[in-house]
Chain A
Amino acid sequence: MIRASTILWLSAVILVGYAMFQVKYEVVQQEEQLARLSRQIADGREAIRVLNAEWNFLNQPARLSELAKRHLTLVPIGTAQLLPSIDALPMRQAAPQQAAAASAAPVKTSAEQ
């Protein structure tokens, strides 16, 4: 006669066995995904390296200055444009709000008149 405890243990064994294989397959899948992602990361990094090298190649100062000469109407800033120094410039007279308030005040008085 199969007793209740035997059934219980048997089912427990089956359950645990099933769960174990389930976990194992899960792990295998995860590892495959990990390998795939790692490969993708490695490919991505290699691509970044290549693009970075190309970006720096295209940004050679000689090439940039040639392009700037051809396409821009700008020239490097000269000393004359930096003199007198920024400190020599007068500060702005008043902040915009204060200025607006200041200009509004006389208008009001003229309206009253």
Chain B
Amino acid sequence: MTMPQPHDENPCRPRHFKPSPCSPAPLDGPAKQSLDTSHTRLLITAALFCLAFVVVGLRLVEVAAFKHGDPRLAHRGVATQPMVSRADIVDRNGVLLATTLETPSLYADPKQVIDAHDAARQLVRVLPDLKESEVYAKLTSDKSFIWLKRQMTPRQEYEVNRLGLPGLQFEDEEKRVYPKGGLAAQAVGFVGLDNHGFAGVERGLDRVLRSRSAPLALSLDIRLQFILRQEVAHQVADFNAIGGTGIIMDVRTGEIMAIVSLPDFDPNAPGAASPEALFNRATLGTYEMGSVFKIFTAAIALETHAATMTSGYDATNPIRFGGFTIHDDHAQRRWLSVPEIFTYSSNIGAAKMALDIGTDRQRDFLGRLGLLRPPAAFEIKELGEPLAPSPWRQINTMTIGFGQGLSVSELQLATAAAAVVNGGVLHPATLVKHAEGDAILGERIFSEQTSIEMRKLLRLVVEEGTGKLANAPGYLVGGKTGTAEKVAGKSYAIHSLLSSFLGVFPVNDPRFLVLISVDEPHGNTKSHGYATGGWVAAPAVQQVIERMASLVGIQPVDEDSPEIRRSLLVTSPTPVGRKFAAN
């Protein structure tokens, strides 16, 4: 290390005399001592400075010559910032249902416009939905900022830019876009002007959507959604109905694969939608579901051993009870076994079965099936409050036994029915896709045995009873029809019906549940004037099942094969005949 010579402090000393460094000028006493001390201090300081310079120098060389930068630095830039303030919504296969786009809005500074007349003419040619006179008036106004068109497409922006007109400017605004239009309008919902959720999942999961950047995968399958919507719309138009709903549910997980409420609307322009279209019939509307409810009556009766598959009830005469009369729509006027009561949808039989169950047990089971209060954990917040009788009298027990006197939403009905057929476990309905390996919530309500017996009964309805038109050959459809008279004021309106069909397939090991309801259908010539669930909703369920089966990977089977026959065999004391037409 080169060091300044500490002894060379006197430049005027004679050059010929150079004292050797080892033998300094003879000093002694305190002077020598203080000189030594300052030498040492100087040396230490110089050494420290030297060291610091060397470190800085080396670091400089390292940074300049050898270091190629930390790649993580680059990621700290704009690129990792979330692009938009609201996450996309996709279906279970990743098909985009809702996204946020930066859309350009066109404004003008009229002071900078040179030839307003020419500019207006050219603009209208590119943007045909503007009026030339209006544009001209705007361009000649004395403001310095005026909107010409909000939220344009990129193509329109390009066209306007190509005109090269002075005084026109763009400003980007965030806009929620629903590429699939009204296909899942009520489920996905829509947002308000400030991009806050107003309905559907957009509202129910508003906080989630605003706090994440990865797309949110719903349980919906847009292909099934399309099929279901098409078939429901077809029936609504065919039977001149005021509306319709449909739900496809995976009975093993509670995931909703498709949910439709007609009439619907275009979420890209929710302002134009009527209140009826915005109303989600499948979750918000509560109805007395009619005979579909006999599923629960039979299941509870079998579970509580109030009845067995071989027991029966006298359905010869209508029941008169405190001013009410309960009679059968498809009256057999004889003793009916439990499978027959189910197959012919006997109100008398179901009412007597409900009496055997008892009020307390009925209410307890219906409560556990989630039919007495809205499903709080559901992602959509437009939920109807079930209307249960209070007090719950014996007559209520009887009428609820065949589906009158308790109003529930279609969503609750589907969720509870899935628990009957899937082996007895209630899975809460969900609109969010289950991640692979996620634990599926469930509560056991019925035994495996009850579930197997109920499957047989449901199959019988389609094979022999009121639901024949739902039979999609090869897919082993089971189900139950329901035709409810809608409550009008305090009584039932005979001619405004809610006709529904709840189907499950394949019934020997159910995978999917399809529930379709048509609101106030009117019989047509094709249905021989009937507007019941068996004529209106069952054919739509059959169509949906045939069209969706190959999409969800369910192979048709030979329904007459001995194994399947045996697995669905019902031993009933009086065999069910084939002579009654489906209705």
Interface residues of A (CB under 8 A from B): 5, 8, 12, 16, 19-20, 22-23, 26, 30, 34-35, 37-39, 41-42, 45-46, 49-50, 52-54, 56-57, 59-62, 65, 76-79, 82-86
Q: Nearest chain A CB to B149's CB is how many angstroms away?
A: 18
Residues of chain B contacted by A76 (CB below 8 angstroms): 547, 550
Indicate if the CB atoms of A60 and B2 lie closer than 8 Å.
no
Indicate if the CB atoms of A30 and B474 lie closer than 8 Å.
no
Q: Which residue of A lies closest to B56 (CB)?
A: A16
B179 at the binding interface (Cβ < 8 Å): yes
Indicate if the CB atoms of A49 and B99 lie closer than 8 Å.
yes
Interface flags for B67-83 (1: CB within 8 Å of A; 0: not) read 00100001001110001
Residues of chain A contacted by B573 (CB below 8 angstroms): none
5 contacts between A and B (CB under 8 A): A16-B57, A49-B83, A49-B101, A59-B95, A83-B556
Residues of chain A contacted by B368 (CB below 8 angstroms): none
Stretch at the interface among B58-66, B128-136, B338-346, B485-493: B58-66
For the residues of B in contact with A, the DSSP-based class is mixed
B367 at the binding interface (Cβ < 8 Å): no
B222 at the binding interface (Cβ < 8 Å): yes
Q: Nearest chain A CB to B555's CB is how many angstroms away?
A: 5
Given the interface pairs A42-B79, A53-B179, the reply to whether A79 lies near B546 with Cβ below 8 Å is yes
Indicate if the CB atoms of A39 and B78 lie closer than 8 Å.
yes
Q: Nearest chain A CB to B269's CB is how many angstroms away?
A: 14
Given the interface pairs A16-B56, A19-B60, A23-B64, the reply to whether A79 lies near B78 with Cβ below 8 Å is no
How many residue pairs at the A-B interface have CB separations less than 8 Å? 96
Indicate if the CB atoms of A56 and B96 lie closer than 8 Å.
yes
Roughly how many angstroms separate A20 CA and B99 CA in the complex, as a whole number?
48
Q: Nearest chain B CB to A5's CB is how many angstroms away?
A: 5
Residues of chain A contacted by B57 (CB below 8 angstroms): 12, 16
Closest 10 pairs between A and B when the two form their complex, measured CB to CB = A61-B226, A56-B179, A38-B78, A38-B77, A57-B179, A56-B96, A41-B79, A79-B474, A5-B2, A38-B79
Q: Which residue of B lies closest to A4 (CB)?
A: B2
B475 at the binding interface (Cβ < 8 Å): yes
Roughly how many angstroms separate A8 CA and B79 CA in the complex, as a whole number?
46
Contact pick for A85, options B473, B546, B556, CB 8 Å: B556
- Told that A35-B77, A56-B180, A85-B556 touch, could you supply 13 new A-B pairs with CB distance under 8 A? A12-B57, A19-B61, A20-B60, A38-B77, A42-B79, A46-B83, A52-B96, A53-B99, A54-B179, A56-B96, A57-B179, A62-B230, A79-B472
